[in-house]
Amino acid sequence: MFKENKQHLQQPLFSTINSLPDKRLKGLKTSWAGTFREDVFGRIQEKDFEILYSDKPSRPNIPVNVLVGLEILKAGFGWTDQEMHEGFSYNLQVRYALGYHNVEEGHFELRTTYNFRERLTTHMQKTGENLFEACFENITDEQMEAYALKSGTQRTDSKQIASNIRRMTRLQLLIEVLQRAYRMLQAADKLIWQAEFEPYIKEKSGRYLYRLKGEKHHSHIEQVGIVMQKLVTELADKYKEDATFAVLQRVFNEHFVVEEATLRPKKGDELTADSLQSPDDLEATFRKKRGESYVGYVTNVTETVESDNPFQLITKVQTESNTTDDAKMLAETLPELVERTELETMHSDGGYNSAEVDTICHDEGVELVQTAIRGGKPSSEKVNLADFTFVLDENENPVEIICPNGKTGVVKAGRTAERLSATFSRSDCVDCPLLARCAMRVLKKTDGRRLYFSVAAVHLARRRQRMKEERKSGRNLRSAVEATMHEISCRLEHGRLRVRGKFRIGMTMTASAAMANARRIWRYQVAEKTAAQRRLVAQNGQIRGIFGKIDSLFRLRGRISSGVSCFSVLATFLVHPQLL
């Protein structure tokens, strides 16, 4: 049964926290724990998680805000589950951050956190709703509102994240799947298939490879394929609902092909990047990037980058299989970011451009500024569309274009919705120094020249122009996001996590981002407090200096009579400071 936790809102008169010396209590409240309590824990909307629990009268749940807070702290500090539970049980800062005042209250078994994660995962699989991600975004939105942060300009970047799986060779993967298929069989079936499995179940899959020479691997792969084909064919009716059998079928289909009733292993270039990398993580994929191989996932992070903000916050975290293109993730999140924030300009690297991104940016009124653009560069020997100036209407559609020689052409729709053209007077082009390099076509029936282009080409040209302007300004607002990627992954073994599966990987990276935001707020609060103390010291110094000079006036008995009162001297000083 679901029950909201409001205990932290009522401060007891006597507690472990209140029994601390004043200096220690003040230090606790101004530490990261105090910021976490106010700006993270206090903003968790428990009601959003009510759907995970039974509505029948039963034992109340462990507070959801405590469980969510623990997940954020675990990822933020890079703890194991055991370290997380010990911190909750014995660490006063952790307990204060999670709303507790006494060390003896609120304890629960570690198994409770496992059950909570399982509920979140199951709900995600059934409904597609990621409650943990929604919770992070609610917290961030409230933080941005509380600190009046601007979000019109943001930046984005991605990072490869490795799952907690072994890197296997192709043969080792096949042997491992075969061994698990044997363990799946009922006792009677094990006896029937004993001879087929005998060569592969004597030792672990890794040990099986030690006895083989490199040139024999191919023949062993063929033999494993023959066994798998028999299993897939003859056991389908009995084990088709078993998850292990589904993995067996998947691996067989990914690694083998039947041609004219003959089974053969697929060649290396026939294997797809989304083929199974480990039976322990069915969603991890393979990707080769800049000459390096990665197995696992990719996390994309978006954060604010406003010069007026005292600090920046991470606004969005996405995790997908690492074969997912950066542009696809940006296209997916842009409408949501526009709805949640004030997004107007997005800064990224060269991997985020696509026709879909261009269309969404146009529809949502977002400018995409890139440090590079994927694809071939336009020829410097010809005038290209990026050399033209676009005159746009209120819907950001071009109505006129101005050529590099300063002549204007009217833009009209072409034969299809995606095609455009602009017509120029032929007389304007007669003495143009760029005529030989111009791509305009001469119109035979009329006195003019016409330039044909597409809507996609306009989007590309405008992105090239923004990139050029950004380089001229000497700024690179995107580059600092790489430090953010390091910030959220450095405590997680630099991108190799202790968890598996897309949902758990995403949950961990989102939790780490939430803790990164909390640290940024805390550093800002510390800096503000330090600056306030310095201002106070300076003001006190000025006041002491003033009264010190006033006191010296009293000592000048020869210039001021003894009958003059203190107030008169002070008034004299304020009106005639030159007496000093």
376 — pLDDT class (breaks 50, 70, 90)? confident
Neighbours of 283 (CB within 10 A): 17
Backbone angles phi, psi at 558, to 5 degrees: -70, -20
**Residue 550: is its pLDDT beyond 90?**
no
Mean pLDDT score, 521-545: 87
Percent of the chain past pLDDT 70, that is, above it, reads 93
Side-chain-facing half-sphere of 172: CA atoms under 13 Å: 14
Contact criterion met (CB below 8 Å) for 341 and 151:
yes
Point out the least confidently predicted range of 11-20, 238-247, 552-561.
Answer: 552-561
pLDDT at 580: 47
Between 404 and 379, the higher pLDDT residue? 404
- pLDDT computed for residue 570 by the predictor: 54
Residue 236 has pLDDT above 90, yes or no: yes
The pLDDT-based confidence of 122 (bands split at 50, 70, 90) is very high
Average pLDDT over residues 424-428: 84
**Per-residue pLDDT tens digits for 205-222:** 888 877 776 656 788 899
* CA 29 to centroid of chain Cα atoms: 29
pLDDT averaged over every residue in the chain: 89
Give the pTM.
0.87
Lowest mean pLDDT among 40-49, 242-251, 533-542: 533-542
Residue 307's pLDDT band, with cuts at 50, 70 and 90, is very high
pLDDT value at position 214?
Answer: 60
At 409, which amino acid appears?
Answer: G
| Range of weakest confidence among 176-190, 210-224, 543-557 | 543-557
How far from 513 is each of 77, 316, 508, CA to CA, in Å?
11, 9, 9
